[in-house]
A and B are shown apart, each in its own frame.
Chain A
């Protein structure tokens, strides 16, 4: 048993040597523009004029919508990583899927929190059991469940494969989130920016589009910086585990 564990541990850090070099140079290239864009986006969002219908609360949209996009983007990346785990058995895919989890969970939680803080002044309630809200809540539960899988199953390869299967099954939730506002006519408003075609003639005025996109791109870059760093952390901690196990075996 210990041999298999050590072998998988070795493979996990022998192979990603190139990834470690590459990611080390890449992280600043993501992190610095991310911070600059988010700062600029925040400034834009507070200088934008208040909406004639919603008043000040329209500013919550500038962070709420990017959080929703990123919550789904993170899950999409995890779905691809899950394929990498199951089909190609690539150890980096295991690491990528696991490292994305806390980030995706945080984005989903923030999407839900800012959404209910927006809902209270506009709808008069923090929470409704509307299809969009419920399906995002399900997404959050799936993130938490996947984190629990990684904690409960000790063998890291086994945990990654179990989590990958659950990730793939859970990916049915993504189209449901996306189309829920069209399928059910409930409280949540339809997407303001539904496609590139609409972008040319959007429902939103440019002084609202700019802060929204600046923050969205900034947060996306931040996601990649955080994801790469979390992957590096995971690879190092696996390497440390492998090293200490090997030393224990040599000593005993």
Chain B
């Protein structure tokens, strides 16, 4: 592999992991909020 491949690979992996993490945190916050809302409506 040449140098550019290593650079591309590390930037690609980093952006994938970071955006995946951000998406996961965002979705888990939204799901938890939805669950609270639903439970409060049931009460």
Show the binding face of A for B, using Cβ within 8 Å.
42, 55-57, 59-60, 63-64, 67, 102-103, 106, 109-110, 113-114, 117-118, 120-121, 222, 226, 229-230, 232-234, 236-237, 239-240, 243-244, 247
Task: Indicate if the CB atoms of A237 and B32 lie closer than 8 Å.
Answer: yes
Residue of B13, B22, B26, B42 near A110 (CB, 8 A) is B13
Q: Which of A121, A233, A236, A237 contacts B6 (CB 8 A)?
A: A121
Tell me if A229 and B26 are in contact (CB < 8 A).
yes
Q: Cβ of A121 and Cβ of B3 under 8 Å apart?
A: yes
Q: Contact at A236–B7, with CB atoms within 8 Å?
A: no
Closest to A230 in B: B25
Q: What 1/0 flags go to B1-14 for Cβ under 8 Å of A?
A: 10110110111011
- A113 contacts B10, C-beta separation under 8 Å: yes
Interface contact A114-B25, CB-CB below 8 Å: no
Query: What is the distance, in angstroms, from B14's C-beta to the closest C-beta of chain A?
Result: 5
CB distance from A198 to the nearest CB of B (A): 26
Q: Whose C-beta in chain A lies nearest to the C-beta of B4?
A: A56
Instruction: Tell me what chain A mostly uses at the interface: helix, strand, loop, or mixed.
Output: helix
Give complex CA distance A109, B13 in Å.
Answer: 11
Report the Cα distance A240→B35, complex, angstroms: 6
Q: Which residues from chain A contact B35 at a C-beta distance below 8 Å?
A: 236-237, 240
**Contact B6 A109, beta carbon cutoff 8 Å:** no
**Cα(A237)–Cα(B28), bound, Å:** 9
Indicate if the CB atoms of B39 and A102 lie closer than 8 Å.
no
The CB with the most chain A CB atoms within 10 A, among B21, B26, B31, is that of B21
Q: Given A56-B7, A233-B32, are A222 and B26 neighbors across the interface (CB < 8 Å)?
A: no
CA distance A110 to B19 in the complex (A): 12
| Min distance, Cβ A95 to any Cβ of chain B, angstroms | 12
Known: A55-B3, A233-B29, A237-B35. A247 touches B43 (CB 8 A): yes
Complexed CA–CA distance, A109 and B1 (Å): 22
Q: CA A102 – CA B31 in complex, angstroms?
A: 18
Is A226 in contact with B25, judged by CB distance below 8 angstroms? yes
A114: B residues at CB distance < 8 A: 10, 13-14
Q: How far is the CA of A63 from the CA of B23 in the complex (A)?
A: 20
Q: For residue B13, which residues in chain A have a CB less than 8 angstroms away from its CB?
A: 110, 113-114, 117
Q: How many Å from the CB of A9 to the closest CB on chain B?
A: 12
